[in-house]
Structure 1
């Protein structure tokens, strides 16, 4: 019999882990979500919430798990978190831009002014990146 050593490395890039650990609003999920955010990014989380916590059972194991995690830090800055297992290029970049625009749009109510918008920062956990772009930080 061959003994195997347990792998104690937690893979944040696993869609199901990301979904089931971070998506609920119970004390444990909020703690795990905020702890990961703080340790990975250094952001001092004031509040975090998941906009679409319900997962359609028909998509488990497929690539259509969508989870919007929005974070506000102690300085009042807004962050949008996403898990992406691959990065194929322009299609994902456009999707990230769309998510950023949506996060900006979600800040204002109908009577509020555009000048009241705050910057939105996107943090994308990504396992693989495009062959032609090895930057850890991109901006648009």
Structure 2
């Protein structure tokens, strides 16, 4: 519950600045900003706590983890493509709508792309996809 509070404490300023002061949006939303670092820590910690017990979600997550390095390698290109060709540029929607949409579309797209590319043995090695 405290992780949710910390996450909301970072999300509220991002949404407020994104809505009222869009020219300063990069100060709170860029990859190397404090709010982004805190959100990554919170999400990572939440996943660590959630995946301590075996359940259907953890089984599903284990199947996806084999693609994570490949996703890491291509996600920047996919996000850039999504912004330029699906949304028509940056900051076309409000941050509270745009960011979750980009996250979901890019995650699913990256998993599908890496899964397809991993069918070729050379690409499987290059993308670091395990054979399990």
RCO (CA 8 Å, sep 6+): is it higher in 1 or 2?
Answer: 2
Specify the TM-score bucket, using the shorter chain as the normaliser.
0.3 to 0.5
User: Taking structure 1 as the reference length, what is the TM-score of the superposition?
Assistant: 0.31
Per the normalisation by structure 2, the TM-score is: 0.32
Which structure has more helix as a fraction of its residues? 2
